[in-house]
Each structure stands twice: as C-alpha cells, then as structure tokens.
Structure 1
Amino acid sequence: MKKSNSYEKELAFQADRRKATTEFIKIISDLWYDKAIEVVLFKNQIIDKNVSEIINLHEYAGQFVQKPISIFDSVELLRAINDIALPPSKLDIGKLTYEYHSDSHSKYHNVKAFVLDKLKDAQSYPEIAPKDVVLYGFGRIGRLLARELMTKTGKGSQLRLRAIVTRGSMSAEKLEKRAMLLRTDSVHGEFKGTVEADAENSILYINGTTVHMISAEAPEDIDYTQYGITEALIIDNTGAFRDKESLGRHLKAKGAAKVLLTAPGKDVPNIVHGVNQNDFDPDAVDIYSAASCTTNAITPVLKVIEDSLEIEKGHLETIHAYTNDQNLVDNIHGKYRRGRAAALNMVITETGAGKAVAKALPSLEGKLTSNAIRVPVPNGSLAILNLQLKNKTSLEGVNTILKKYALEGDLVEQIKYSMSNELVSSDIIGTSAPAIYDSRATIVTDNGKNLILYIWYDNEYGYAHQVIRLSKYIAKVRRYTYY
C-alpha cells in the first residue's frame, strides 16, 4: 500500500512538473515574439524545445551548479520578467534561478523585487537598430547561418537576412536544390521551419520571409539597394577571398557596409568572439575575419589557462571531422594525404590553429605547435591541448577554474562544461558553444606543471554561432544580456 501511495505521488508530481513546463514554454515564446527577449538556460537554447527537453535541461543545470534548479522556480521568475518593461534582451533563467536561491535573495521582499534589482541595468541600455545581412556563399556554414538567422529573427530587431549570393545562373531547378539543402541536412537534421522557392522572382521564402537569391561572379558588381538592402553586413562563406584587398571588393557593392569572412583572413583582424572583439571598434574597422572553427574552440580555453596558470609552451593536436576539401574516393589532391578517401582513412594534415591563436592572444606568440588528423566522421571534432605551465595546479584546481569561467564572465557563451563520463563526438552535435570542456578526461601530471585538456567542438554549428555573435558585435546589435 505504501509503495502504491508513493507511486501515485510520483505520478502527480510529474504531472505538475510537466504542466509547469508547458507554462514555461508559453512564457518563453511570448517574451521572444512579443518583446524580443530571448531566454536561455545556462547558455542552452530553449526556444522551440519540447517539455521533456526543458525538464532535462533543468536537470543538467542542477548538476552543473550542484543545487536544484526547479522548473517551478523558473516559471515564477519568468512571470516576473514578463511583467516588467525590458528592452530586447538575452537572459539566462538558470543563472537567475540559481542566484535567487543563494543567500543574497533573502533581502528581497518578493520575486519581482529580485528581478527588478538584477536587471536594473537594462533600463539604461542603448537602443539598437536592425542590420541587413547578406550571405555571400551558401555552403555548409552559409546554410547553418541561414537556419539560425531565420529561426532567431523574432521581431527582426537584430540581424535580418535579406539576400544570399551564389555564383552561376539561378535556374528553377538550382533554386529548388538550394531550398532542399536548406530544408534537410544529413548531419543537423530537418530545418524546423518552412522553405518555399519562387523561381520566377528568384526568392526563397524562409518562414514566410523574403530572402533574395542573387547570382553574381564578382562582388563589386552587385547593387543591393535594388532589393531594398542598405548598409548591409556581407558574410563571406566562399573562402575565395581571404585578404584585405580581395575582401574589400565587397565594399564596392552598392548597399554594402561591412564584411565578415568565415575563415582565417590575411591583413584583417582575426576575431574569436569573447576573447578579442573589443580590441577593434566597429565604427573604425570595416573588414573582419571570424578565424577558424579550431581557433574558436581552443582560444577561449587557452585564455582561461593563460590568465589563471600561465602557459610556458604547448602542443595542439586536432582530431577533426573530414571536410569538403578532401576526396570522397582516392584521387589527385593539391595537398599531401588529403587525396585519400575521407570516409575510410585517418589523414594527418597541417593546421594553422597554433599560430592563429596568437592573433587573439599575443602572449602565446611562438609558444604553441600544432597538427591535425582528419578522421572518418562528417562533423564533430576534438582538440587535445598538451600544455606546460608556469604555475602548479591539480585536476580539481583546473576543473574549478574552467567551471567558474563557464558559469560567469566574458566566456560563458564560448565554454560549455561537460560532466559526462560517456561523452562521444556525436553527443556534441548541435552545441552552440564553440568549446566543450571534457572535465572527465583532463590529465594533470604529479608535479602539477603538465596539463592535458580535451576540448570537443561542433566544427560547423558551434562555429556558426561564433560567426553570428561576432556579426552582432560588428553590426552593433548586441542586446542587453544577463548571464
């Protein structure tokens, strides 16, 4: 009888929890679509998530901060947030819930007083003007950017995807093929939205919104203003233009104002968002590079270790998913080894990530060597950092440092802290953080001076989010954030 009563109580609790989660989802949607307020849960995106996913994320959050993070408390805080006037914002409900249950919350009379105090700086945050965006190129990164930009358009208060430029003529068949590639993806699954092709007008209607498909061979020949596009940020995904002079051709197009390259660039600022973007003023600099996926994965973690323990020297080994520049079957290739079948071989190749880090972290100039191994997975990579330190540390010490930076500060969007003993490459697909720190794999030698870190990264999705973060900085549409 006791067991039966206990089971009935469990069922009742689960029903109440799922009902609360349904309200949580509704408020999240109302805040986003009515007020342009995006809510995340310890950096995890929760817009368009279902009930079970939201509950699981609350469980993860509780494990992360080692305190219960209740859906009931989250809902109560969301109600208070919904009741106050806020500008377009990005708020971490996990952090707010955690702080509400810390000792400091006792000074507040109610939840609303707590929320008003925590978000008081939002009232003086400057207004932002939306920015037109053009994707120049529509490959792996371009399509992921299009997905994310259109999913997060909301009220259109930040980045507005207005056009996509491709080379060659745009027949009805080619337009439909591009639409299909946006709708479906063998790695990232189906696009959770609608994509309709209008061949007569060369338009993709993405989630019912017009995106012009422009055919061009030379960037300077395009007149974006004829499509109603002005002062646009051009995100170049082609890799065809890598230096300041060639990227500057984009700025000769009517309606273009800024350029962002989604690859390492020459003679232009190479930025890892979260680390060095503030060194370059968007009012003074027109051309940027978002560096590489590997550089974005390792630089935030290296900055933490450098600032906390000081790095004397080290080696980076990247275990990287194969990419489109390799051959599907054995054939001639311009680089050694990359000509062998990508899905059948581990392939040793070079990476410039070790040197590239120094562009964002000058203190590491000449201290890192690097190499790469391409492996037979289509996405999901791993960077192994073997570092010699100036200051001693321990396994617990390193994990405490990384956990702190993953929880608060300037790198919370960049570093995700994993506590799983079972983490494998497929688990990290779809992670928006460019660096996933595997706390269970870290090795510290007995003398405390040698450190080996394992950093996972979705080399497509995580990198695409870094590009968007940098785009918002360049376009000056960063919202008020509370992390």
Structure 2
Amino acid sequence: MSLNGTYESELAFQADRRKATVEFVKIISDLWYDKSIELVLFRNQLIDKNVSEILNLHEYAGEFVQKPISIFDSVEIAQAIKTLDVPPAKLDIGKLTYEFQFEDQKHANATAFVADKLKGARKSEIINPKDVVLYGFGRIGRLLARELMTKTGKGNQLRLRAIVTRGKIDQVVLEKRASLLRNDSVHGDFSGTVVADIENSALIINGTTVNVISADAPEDIDYTAYGINDALVIDNTGAFRDADALARHLKSKGVSKVLLTAPGKGVPNIVHGVNHLEYNPDTVDIFSAASCTTNAITPVLKAIQDTFGIKHGHLETIHAYTNDQNLVDNFHNKYRRGRAAALNMVITETGAGSAVAKALPSLEGKLTSNAIRVPVPNGSLAILNLELENPTSVEGVNSIMKKYALEGHLVEQIKYELSDELVSSDIVGCSAPAIYDSKATIVRQDGKNVVLYVWYDNEYGYSHQVIRLAKYVSKVRRFTYY
C-alpha cells in the first residue's frame, strides 16, 4: 500500500473510532439517566467525558493491563448491559471488556457474557435515597456539591438538599456563592448550571433547588421546615472536631447522621476501602473521613503491610498550600505558617503518621511523619520510606501495587500510574485518593527498605473518598462490578 493509501486508511479508522465513541457516550448517558447504571473505565469516570477524553482513557487502560482495550469492544459490552434488566449499579466496563477478551469462547455472545458476570446484581437490596446537607461551603464543600449534583441522575442515592453558611444571605452573598461554585481556579468551570434564587434563598443547580441556610449553631436549624428528613450532614467547617461538638448536629430536626471532613476525636476515623466495614451505620451516627493525606497513604500502607510487613517507617508529605496559611507574611499561631504560602516551602507538622494507626492498628507506633507545604495550590505527594519485614524488589513491590489497583477492595483507592513524566499538575482531578508512581519506586539492594511515591489531589481525590463514605453511611451503595 502506498504512503497516501496508508494515511487514508488511518484517517478512516480514526473516523470509525470517534463515531463509535460518540455512540459509547450516548449509551453511557442512557444507562445513567434511564437506569441509574454508572459506567467507569478502570475506575476512571466516564460521565460528562468527551470523545477525546474517552479514547485517551482507553489508551491508558490498554497500557495498564498490557492488552489493547478497544472502543469497539467497549461499545459491544455497553450495548449488552443496556439490553439487560440490571438494577442501579456501578460497573467497570474496562474490567468487563478485558475479561470478555479471555472468555468470549465460553459464551454465545457479549450479552450472555455480561448476564453471567452481573448475575449477582439481582440480589441487590432496594436503595432509599438520602437527603444531604453540606454544613460549610469552602474548598471541600464546593467540590462535594459539584460531584453530588453531577452524579444526581435520577436521585436514587445522595440528594443535596441544603447548604449551611454563617452570616446574612442577601443577593450579593448568594451571587458570590453561586460564582464560587461555577468557577474554580484549580478545577475549572462547573459542567452544569448555577442560578442564584434570592427570593427563596437557594441555589438552583442543574435545575434543582438547593436551599442556602444561615445559622450560627447546628442545633438551631429545623431542616424539616425545608422538606428535609433523615438527613446526612457533612460538616466541612473544621469548627466541630470532637464527638460532643459533632453531636450538636443530631439535635437538629431532620438529621440522623453526621460525617466530618477532617480527623475527628472520639469518633470513628474512616479511610473508605480500608476500615469502613468495621463500623455499622445502623449503630454509629457520627463518622470522620480522616484527612486527605491519611486517605492517600493508608491504602498503600495496607497493601505493603499485608504483603511484606512493615517494621517501621517515615512519611514525608509534600503538600500544596492551604487556606490556613498566609498569602503574605503575617502573624500566625503555627510556627512558619505565617510566611507567604505562594513564595516559600514551609516545614510544618502532620498527624497523618499517627492517624494511620486508627485505620490500621498494626502500624501503631511504627511511623513518624512530617510535612512541607509548597507553593502549588493543589496536588500533593507523600513519600513513604519503609523498613520491611520481608525483602522485595522494585518489580516485586510494583507488581503487588498493580494487583491491588486492578482487583480487590482497594481498586477505588489506588491508581497505578505508568507515566515517566508525571508531575503534580497531572494528577489534579483524579478521583482516586492514592496515585502510586510506579516509575519512582526505590528499593535498597538488600530488599528490606523501600521508598514509595504516592501522589494525591488533596481536594478532588479526598472529596471522592468523602462521597464513598457518605454512600456507605447512608446505605445507598449500589451493586458494583470491579
């Protein structure tokens, strides 16, 4: 074939791929809005993704499993899912497509294969939707609002009903709240609509009313007056950190559960995927989602502890600056944090080393930790320097981490990164709380010491962990196939 002929064939193939991807996007939307079935591709979100983004995710998936993952195969599997009577679910079409390539001879067609794989979905319990209140509307609160509203679908799981802030609510304040939700300097524009409704003191997000309530004390609010009942309050303020303070939310009419987006005292500190099953939502009313750093390192430490054993280690977190630091040099109650955040690397403390033991008691007293705040607005890195009980190699530790990222109970928590060129801005917007940098792994010659690099979007990845825990607490987790 001539060079021109080859080029024309490549153009035709790319056109076919993109047309198939357009069809794939439609099926994704139909499944989500008609059946409350969410498709992901090796845990990467597909809802609201464009054609190029989906094709890029297929390239990553193929490299991840070291076998081509074709968009044409994904369309075939997605069409099969659409024809079946599947209850609300979250399905990894990458895993299904990968398995179909090995098992297609065992089944008459893709529909028979999918029906066999998803037969457990029939046993799923009926889900009762849960009203959600965001108490506080800062960085984490707004990201939670974005994700909750983007993934509302038919409203079968979590329903954002109200946002609570301090101070008066007038037109100027409400418009500013709406603007901060619409526009974000780090995460970009919200892929939806936000309208300030001053007459009803509400934000109309994607056409749905979310009440904005002003309150100085949690117990002063009667949520039932807004039609909100049996609600989960997600406290993002940082003002209430212990069991007694958080219990004030439960004195409000219409509240049944509380979830803190920070480390808590006297309440269960949960890293979803690691220790959430140890606490029953039927008997526990107050939960903490721990910290972003704890959520980043604990899944990786669990994988290493379970496989090799950890004698002791040190955690150093290279953390994006946060709102508690000063923009310019000024007085601060904490040492060094008073210096200009965007101009300095700032050594400070972190409780993540000791906090890990709340989720993994076997690591009690084995880890030290410290933090360096650096001049980036988002995107952080944890460096784990670990002395192991059983020796390994770079290949050995990487293969274990890849296995945990591909199958098991930590697949939502650990993303296995393959790139040689990864930098902090690349991980912004990743929904996994821990991004394992396989190309940076270091193992001492005797195999007893490893240095692991774990990236994390300290805002977006953490927010997704909060939502995962919120679904567990609210008992609205759907059938999943990972």
**Alpha-carbon distance in structure 1 between the residues aligned to 2:360 and 2:189:** 38
In structure 1, C-alpha distance between the alignment counterparts of 2:358 and 2:213, rounded to whole Å? 34
Q: Quick one: which amino acid aligns to residue 144 of structure 1?
A: L
1:18 is matched with: 18
1:273 & 1:181 partners in 2: Cα distance? 28
Q: Which residue of 2 aligns with 1:222?
A: 221
Q: CA RMSD in A?
A: 0.5
**In structure 2, what is the Cα distance between the partners aligned to 1:470 and 1:278?**
10
2:298 maps to 299
Map of 1:86 onto structure 2: 86
Determine whether 1:171 maps to 2:174. no
| In 1: Cα distance, 2:19 partner to 2:46 partner | 17
Q: Distance in 1 between matches of 2:377 and 2:2?
A: 52
> How far, CA to CA, are the matches of 2:318 and 2:4 in structure 1?
52
Aligned to 2:142: 143
Residue of structure 2 in register with 1:262 after alignment: 261
**Structure 1 stretch displaced more, 11-20 or 269-278:** 11-20
Q: 2:130 corresponds to which letter in structure 1?
A: K
Runs of 4+ in 1 over 2 A off after TM superposition: none
For the residues of structure 2 that align with 1:131 and 1:391, how far apart are their CA atoms?
A: 45
CA deviations on 1:316-368 (whole Å, 9 max, x unpaired) are 00000000000000000001000000000000000000000000000000000
Q: CA deviation at 1:227?
A: 0.4
CA distance in 2, matches of 1:101, 1:182: 43
1:446 aligns with 445
SS at match of 1:177: helix
Question: Matched residues in 2 for 1:299 and 1:444: separation?
Answer: 20
**Per-residue Cα deviation, 1:113-163 (whole angstroms, up to 9, x for no partner):** 100000000011111000000000000000000000000000000000000
The aligned counterpart of 2:422 is: 423
Alignment match, 1:460:
459
User: Which residue in the other structure is 2:63 paired with?
Assistant: 63
The separation in 1 between residues aligned to 2:186 and 2:350, in whole angstroms, is: 24
Question: Partner of 2:205 in structure 1?
Answer: 206
Q: Distance in 2 between matches of 1:108 and 1:309?
A: 39
The alpha carbon displacement at 1:255 in A equals 0.1
Q: Is residue 31 of structure 2 the alignment partner of residue 37 of structure 1? A: no
AA matched with 2:383: I
Could you state the TM-score of these two structures normalised by the residue count of structure 2? 1.00
2 CA distance for matches of 1:357 and 1:288? 16
Counterpart residue number, 1:51? 51
Deviation at 1:107, TM superposition (A): 1.1
Taking the aligned partners of 2:7 and 2:341, their CA distance within structure 1 comes to 52
The question of 1:272 aligning with 2:271 is answered: yes
CA distance in 1, matches of 2:374, 2:56: 31
In structure 2, what is the Cα distance between the partners aligned to 1:80 and 1:43? 20
- 1:407-455 Cα offsets, whole Å, 9 max, x none, are 0110000000000000000000000000000000000000000000000
The match for 1:107 is 106
CA distance in 2, matches of 1:115, 1:478: 21
Report the Cα offset of residue 106 of structure 1: 1.7
Give ranges in structure 2 of 5+ residues lacking alignment.
none
For residues 232-251 of structure 1, the aligned pairs below 5 Å read 232-251=231-250
**Structure 1, unaligned stretches of length 5 or more?**
none
SS class of match (1:101): helix
Query: In 2, Cα distance between the equivalents of 1:200 and 1:115?
Result: 50
The equivalent residue for 1:126 is 125
Shift of 1:105: 3.1
| Other-structure match for 1:369 | 368
Counterpart residue identity of residue 396, structure 1: E
Q: Which amino acid aligns with 1:387?
A: L
Separation of aligned partners in 1, 2:69 and 2:119: 23
Matched residue SS, 2:440: coil
Q: Which residue does the alignment assign to 2:481?
A: 482
CA distance in 2, matches of 1:368, 1:469: 27
Q: Quote the offset at 1:171 in angstroms.
A: 1.2
Q: Deviations over 1:21-52 (max 9, x none)?
A: 01000000000000000000000001111111
Query: What CA distance in whole angstroms lies between the structure 1 residues aligned with 2:240 and 2:372?
Result: 26
Whichever residue aligns with residue 11 of structure 2, its letter is L
Residue by residue, what CA displacement relative to the aligned partner does 1:143-186 show, whole Å, maximum 9, x if unpaired?
00000000000000000000000011111100100000000000
Q: Output the CA distance in 2 between the equivalents of 1:52 and 1:372.
A: 37
TM-score (norm 1): 0.99
In the TM superposition, what is the alpha-carbon distance from 1:476 to its structure 2 partner? Answer: 0.1
